[in-house]
Amino acid sequence: MGHQMFTYNEKTSEAIFAYCRKRLAMDPVPLDYGSLDPSALPDLAGLINPEGSNPEEILNLFTERLAEAVVSADSPGFLAFIPNAPTKNSLLFDMVVACSGLNGTSWLESAGAVLAENQALEFLSHRAGLPKGSGGAFVSGGSMGNLSGLTVGRDVGRTRRPNVAPHELRFAISSDAHSSIGKALHVIGIEPLLVPTNNHRFTRENLEAALAGDPRPDTVIGVVATSGTTNAGIIDDLEGLGNYAREHELWFHVDGAYGGAAIMSKTYQSALSGIRHADSFVVDPHKWLFAPLDCAALIYRDPTTARKIIAQQASYLDVLHPDDEHYEWNPSDFAFHLSRRPRGLPFWYSLVTNGVTAYETAVQAAIDLAQATEKMINEMEHVEMVRPASLSIVLYRRKGWGEKEYLSWSQKLLREQIAFVTPSKWEGESVARFAFLHPDTSEDLVREILESMRD
Ligand SMILES: Cc1ncc(COP(=O)(O)O)c(C=O)c1O
């Protein structure tokens, strides 16, 4: 008889599997309430104690009291922020990864898992137009992908500009870049060159104008473009910026955490073709590629240079890095992480089992819904578009409303379990915003939401 914590418990296992089965079979999943009513949250005091508690009772506490206080990101009614709508197969396979306690740190430990993860990375890389040999790792999210890609870009830039003091080096970014870009630059000690844009889209002309008017253009070592801004879905001039970066030996980072997934859509094929110039590219399967949290793909054009910069070195890890000639792929070598679960596997399993066409149609559904929503809004007199829908984002206003009205309407929608829609800001004005992602979000639901703004 082994240690009690490591003994298989039939009763607990059955209870957990039964809940998982029930949850997976829900169609649609309930939206639930998040933090709407904090007084409904149970008191957890005393639960962590020397003797432990009954597993089935604690499972009940979770399913009956805690789970409802989490808005279901996989509900077709979750239209706030950037949702997360994992496929059933990706959720099921996440359970396999969890049950096996899989480690995905190194080739030595986890060759089977790494092989499959790399197949998924190669698929994305190929689809994005990056050359054969590109590669990287699945990381926890877009923020970590951006931080790691920019760290590598900084070190490459340092070697390219040995005569510029490290603290003077800069990356050119636009003010519509995701907040994680500014944070990442702060962490790695790089200042941004904030490039003014026309109508929020960062173009080659904007970059050239900013550099022409800058007293120290030689300090700029890289450019960050976004392939789908979070707030408005705007795709920067990837082709122009990418070409400029190539011509001037600048690191080109493309943040496609959200919108990079539109490489699965014919509509955006040409707008996204410039990703092929990227030195580092991030796209999050946990956003619009229907994988569970937390899973972002970080892909380098030259993974050898990347790992030489960012891999952790320690004597106990030397066995993973014998020498360049015998290098085997360690996902841990490509980002600021070491131990990791093979978080790409649920995405891989879903992609392999559902097939590419299912991904293409699911991504396209959200794009088409954004276009249909724009049409609906244009036909109603109480609402109007703030700017054209882009990718799967719709920014619009309810005429006459301010922040207070949007917030109370948002809470009412959630309380009535219609949808989770949170307001945003556009050029200082409070506005409404849909971020579509789930292919089952219907035009009927959108119409109901728009109609609810009449009163
Ligand atoms: C464009 C973009 N970049 C980065 C991020 C951050 O990604 P994560 O939340 O996975 O860290 C987001 C999140 O919405 C995003 O939209």
Q: Across the strands, what pairs with 430? A: 425
Radius of gyration of the chain (CA): 23
pLDDT tens for 87-144 read 999 999 999 999 999 999 999 999 999 999 999 999 999 999 999 999 999 999 999 9
pLDDT tens for 363-377 read 999 999 999 999 999
Q: Is the pLDDT of residue 385 over 80?
A: yes
Q: Is the pLDDT of residue 1 over 80?
A: no
Distance 257 CA to ligand 1 centre (A): 5
pLDDT tens for 60-103 read 999 999 999 999 999 999 999 999 999 999 999 999 999 999 99
**230 CB less than 6 Å from ligand 1?**
yes
Going edge to edge, which strands form the sheet with 170-174? 135-139, 296-300, 280-283, 251-255, 220-226, 170-174, 191-195
DSSP 361-424: HHHHHHHHHHHHHHHHHHH-SSEEESS--BTTEEEEEETT--HHHHHHHHHHHHHTTS-B---E
| Six token digits for residue 79 | 């239209």
Contacts of 364 (CB under 8 A, 6+ apart): 264, 265, 266, 267
Mean pLDDT of 5-11: 96
Distance 406 CA to ligand 1 centre (A): 24
User: What's the pLDDT band for 299 if we cut at 50, 70, 90?
Assistant: very high
DSSP 182-220: HHHHHHTT-EEEEE--BTTB--HHHHHHHHHT-S-GGGE
| Six token digits for residue 375 | 């049409």
**289 CB less than 6 Å from ligand 1?**
no
Going edge to edge, which strands form the sheet with 383-385? 383-385, 393-398, 429-435, 424-426
Q: Is the pLDDT of residue 395 over 80?
A: yes
For residues 131 and 114, the answer to whether their CB atoms sit within 8 Å is no
**285 CB less than 6 Å from ligand 1?**
no
User: What's the pLDDT band for 320 if we cut at 50, 70, 90?
Assistant: very high
Mutate to test the pocket of ligand 1, among 179, 255, 336 (most ligand atoms within 8 A of CB): 255
pLDDT tens for 323-360 read 888 899 999 999 999 999 999 999 999 999 999 999 99
Nearest CA to ligand 1 atom 4: 142
Q: What is the pLDDT of residue 325?
A: 84
Mean pLDDT of 379-393: 98
Nearest to 233 by CA among 394, 368, 423, 383: 394
Q: What is the pLDDT of residue 322?
A: 82
Distance 89 CA to ligand 1 centre (A): 24
| Six token digits for residue 289 | 């590629």
Model-level pTM greater than 0.75? Answer: yes
Residue whose token pair is 């409404």: 432
pLDDT tens for 150-209 read 999 999 999 999 999 999 999 999 999 999 999 999 999 999 999 999 999 999 999 999
CA–CA distance, 450 with 61 (Å, rounded to integer) = 36
Q: What is the pLDDT of residue 326?
A: 86
**284 CB less than 6 Å from ligand 1?**
yes
Question: Relative to the CA of 144, which ligand 1 atom is closest?
Answer: 11
Mean pLDDT of 433-438: 98
- Per cent of the chain over pLDDT 70 is 100
CA–CA distance, 347 with 244 (Å, rounded to integer) = 34
* Residue 263 CB burial class (10 angstroms; 0-12, 13-18, ≥19): buried
Mean pLDDT of 435-448: 98
Q: What is the pLDDT of residue 217?
A: 98
**84 CB less than 6 Å from ligand 1?**
no
Q: Is the pLDDT of residue 455 over 80?
A: no
**82 CB less than 6 Å from ligand 1?**
yes
User: What's the pLDDT band for 445 if we cut at 50, 70, 90?
Assistant: very high
Distance 396 CA to ligand 1 centre (A): 22
| Six token digits for residue 421 | 């829609």
First-to-last CA distance in the chain? 66
Which domains, from first to last, does the chain contain?
Answer: 97-354 (3.40.640.10), 358-451 (3.90.1150.170)
Q: Is the pLDDT of residue 430 over 80?
A: yes
User: What's the pLDDT band for 421 if we cut at 50, 70, 90?
Assistant: very high
Mean pLDDT of 239-254: 98
Work out the mean pLDDT of the chain and round it to a whole number: 97
